Amino acid sequence: MNALDDHFDLPIRRPRTTQAAEGMVRRAFTVAEIDAMVRTRNMDEHEHVELIGGELVPMSSKGIRHERLKTFVNMELARQLPSGIAFTPETTFRLSVDTFLEPDFVLSEKFVGLEGLNGETCLLAVELGDSSLAYDQGRKASIYAGFGIRELWVIDAVALETRMLREPTPAGYRQITDFKTEVAVTPALVPDLALKLSDDL
């Protein structure tokens, strides 16, 4: 870890959180209610949270490895993307009335627009995992599968390896394939695009 890593890993001020006991009744929120809280400034629009089944879940902080990988993937997608495809970084991906996720990237056809982005129209979701890797490959992947996201990539920001998940079912993804560094990975629904990571990152 270098000095830059140390800088990015410094603790930052975050909203207070609680951890309720299993079985305790908690108030569920809707996406519309969270939008209203942001609009009325009762919640910071830059607060890193996801809404899962009505429950607000704080996201892990992002270190330098995550940000370095995000920059690389962003540049590669921008360079290769076919004309009819759009990619959106770090959008609020509204999946139902009580669930939104914040993937690092989503790909869809341009005509869909953000208003039409959902489980059926998303061509690929990409998660970059550092401290959140186990969650991204586990619980979060199950949520994506449950909403019918046809393809999910979870990229390990430390090992620089990619897990490709396809064929979603309510219980999870049927097809899971791991790719080592410097192996080109191509999404099924955007075959003109190929992402190849490098140890130089």
Mean pLDDT score of the chain: 87
For residue 128, give the nearest of 99, 163, 95 by alpha carbon. Answer: 163
CATH 3.90.1570.10 fits 64-179, yes or no: yes
Please answer whether residues 125 and 153 qualify as being in contact, where contact means their C-beta atoms are separated by less than 8 angstroms.
yes
pLDDT of residue 1: 38
Q: What is the DSSP letter of 21?
A: P
Q: Which pLDDT does position 77 carry in this prediction?
A: 93
Q: What is the pLDDT of residues 170-201, one digit of tens each?
A: 999 999 999 999 999 999 999 999 999 987 77
Tell me: the pLDDT tens digits for 126-168?
999 998 899 999 999 999 999 999 999 999 999 999 999 999 9
Give the mean pLDDT of 44-55.
85
Span 88-92, average pLDDT = 93
Question: What is residue 22's predicted lDDT score, i.e. its pLDDT?
Answer: 64
pLDDT tens profile 105-127: 999 999 999 899 999 999 999 99
> pLDDT of 54-88, one tens digit each?
888 888 778 899 999 999 999 999 999 999 999 99
pTM for this one? 0.84
Tell me how far apart the alpha carbons of residues 183 and 186 are, in angstroms, rounded to a whole number: 10
Q: Are 176 and 184 in contact (CB under 8 A)?
A: no
Sheet with 162-169, strands from edge to edge, namely: 85-89, 105-109, 122-129, 151-156, 162-169, 172-179
At residue 15, does pLDDT exceed 80? no
| CB contact set of 77 (below 8 Å; sequence gap of 6+) | 87, 105, 107, 193, 195
Residue 131 falls in which region: left (phi positive, over 0), alpha (psi -120 to 50) or beta: alpha
- Please identify which residue in the block is written with the tokens 């939104």: 100
Kindly report, as residue ranges, where domains of CATH 3.90.1570.10 are found in the chain.
64-179
DSSP state of 17: -
